[in-house]
Amino acid sequence: MELTLQQVALCLGTHSEEPELRARGWSIDSRTIAPGDLYFALRGDVHDGHAFIDVALNAGAIAAIAETVGPKILTVPDSLSALQQLAAWARAHWGGTVVGVTGSAGKTSTKDAIAHLLAVAMPVGRTVGNFNNHIGLPLSILRIPDGAQAAVLEMGMNHAGEIRALAAWAKPDIGVVTNVGYAHVEFFDSIEGVALAKRELIEALPAQGTAVLNADDERVVRYREVYSGRTVTYGFSAEADVRGEMLEGNRFRCLGSFYETQLTGRHAISNILAGIAVAQVFGIAPGLLVDAVRSLEPGKMRGERMTHNGITILNDCYNSNPAAARAMLDALAAEKATRRIAVLGEMLELGGRTEPLHRDIGRYAAESGMDVLIALRGAASFMADEAKKVGMSDGAAYFFEDPADAGRFLKQIARPGDAVLFKGSRGVHAERALEAFTDDIGGAAA
C-alpha cells in the first residue's frame, strides 16, 4: 500500500515535516531499503534499528519511524507498536478480502498455493516468505498492493494468544487451518494446547466469514463446532466438501476436474486442495484452476526436486516437525528409485517430547522402507538408534553431528538411481549436507 506521511502521522499521533511525501514501501532493515521506503527503527535482541536510521535515509528512505527526534523522523513512543498500529489502520481502510492461513505444517506452501490459484481471477497480495509473526505480519499487511482484491496472510505462533493478536490486526474474512501437530509443542502442556492456539484464527472470524478446514485432521475439523459461520472442508476424506482423489503419479481429481502438479507428495496436494477450497469460496470454477495448479512451483527448500549424476534429490531443508517429516518420508517412499536415502535433521522446539518424537520418526523411516537413514545433529541420534532397534542394520543407519560431514559421507555411498531426501529444522541447516554432497557434482534441476 502507498500512504502519505500525513496519513501515517495522523494514524500514529505524531508529526511529519514533509506530509505530502508518499511511502511506497515499508522496511525494518536498512540493508534492503529501496527509494521511497518508510523505515521502522525497531529495537531487537541483537541490533537496535535506531543505530541505522542515517544508513536507511541515505539509501533512499523518505523518513523513519523512531523513538527519537531528528530530521525526517516521525517520533513515536514505541516503534514496534507504531508498526502494528499503522498496519491495523491500513487493513481497516483497505477494501479487499483477507485470507488467514495457519497450521503446524505447510502454512507457507498452502499460503502460496492459495494466492497462486486466486490470481487466475483477481489481483492478489500475499505474505512474502514466512513473514508471519508480530513483526512480519504487520509488514505483510502494509505491503499488500493497493490494487489487490484479496490478500493471503500467513499466521504463525509459538504461544497461546499470538494468533489472536495477529488476527486483531489482519481482520481475516476467511481462515484456513492446515493441521495440528507437534510443532512448537515445547511451549504447550499438550498437543491439545496447540490445537486451541490454532483455533484462535477461527474464533477471530466474523459471523459472515468462512472457515476452511482440513477434513483429514480430526482436531482441525472439530473447529466447525465452535464457529457459527460458513465452513468448507477439504482433503481426501470422503466427508470433505472439496475432496481430492489421488491418481497415478502427481495427478489428482477434485470437483470433477483433473489436475497435475509439479509438487511432490500427498501432503503437497492437500495444500493445493486448500487452495481449491478457498477458490470455491470466491466463486472460481474448478476448471479454471487446472493450468494454475500445473504451473505452481515449490518454494525454496520446500520440496524442490533436483537431479545430480543420476541421483534424485528432494530438498525440503527449510524446516521440520514430526508431521512434516512423516509427509516427506511418504513422498520419498513413493519415488521410483533403486534405493531411498533419508537425511533427516533434528526437530527443534519439541520440549519434553523430544526423545519419543525423534524415535517415532526413526521407526517410521525404517518401517517406510528407507534403505539408508542419515540423522543430523543432537536429538536426531534417537532416530538412528530407533531405526536400528526396529530392524535397520548398523550399515544403514548413521548419525552425524556436523551436516557437512554427513554430506561428504553420502557422496561416498550414493549411486545413480538413488533418491535422497534432505530435511531438518531451520536451526540444523540440513542444506549444508546437501551443499557438501553436491559441491563437486555437476547437475541440473529436473
User: Once rounded to an integer, what is the mean pLDDT over residues 407-419?
Assistant: 97
Q: For the full predicted model, state whether its pTM sits above 0.75.
A: yes
Query: Which residue, chain included where needed, has cell 479487499?
Result: 96
Helix or strand holding residue 384 (H, E): helix 381-389
Query: 15-51, pLDDT tens digit by residue?
Result: 999 999 999 999 999 999 999 999 999 999 889 999 9
Indicate if the pLDDT at residue 445 is higher than 70. Answer: no
Query: 125-184, pLDDT tens digit by residue?
Result: 999 877 999 999 999 999 999 999 999 999 999 899 999 999 999 999 999 999 999 887
Helix or strand holding residue 257 (H, E): strand 257-260
Mean pLDDT of the chain: 95
Query: 256-282, pLDDT tens digit by residue?
Result: 999 999 999 999 999 999 999 999 999
Percent of the chain with pLDDT over 90: 93
Query: 332-342, pLDDT tens digit by residue?
Result: 999 999 999 99
- Find how far residue 269's CA is from the centre of its chain: 15
Q: Given pLDDT bands bounded at 50, 70 and 90, which one contains residue 363?
A: very high
400, 404, 414, 319: which is closest to 371 by C-alpha?
A: 414
Indicate if the pLDDT at residue 215 is higher than 60. Answer: yes
User: How many residues does this entry show for the chain?
Assistant: 446
Query: 217-265, pLDDT tens digit by residue?
Result: 999 999 999 999 999 999 999 999 999 999 988 999 999 999 999 999 9
Question: What secondary structure letter does DSSP report for 43?
Answer: B
CA distance 46 to 56: 18
Q: Given pLDDT bands bounded at 50, 70 and 90, which one contains residue 440?
A: low
CA distance 34 to 421: 38
Long-range contact pairs involving 30-36 (C-beta distance under 8 Å, separation at least 24): 30/55, 30/56, 30/59, 33/59, 33/60, 33/61, 34/60, 35/59, 35/60, 36/60, 36/62
Asked whether the beta carbons of 272 and 402 are under 8 A apart, the reply is no
Determine the 3-state secondary structure of 215 from DSSP.
coil
Q: Which residue spans within 273-390 are E strands per DSSP?
A: 304-308, 311-316, 340-345, 372-376
At residue 443, the pLDDT reads 39
User: Once rounded to an integer, what is the mean pLDDT over residues 185-201?
Assistant: 92
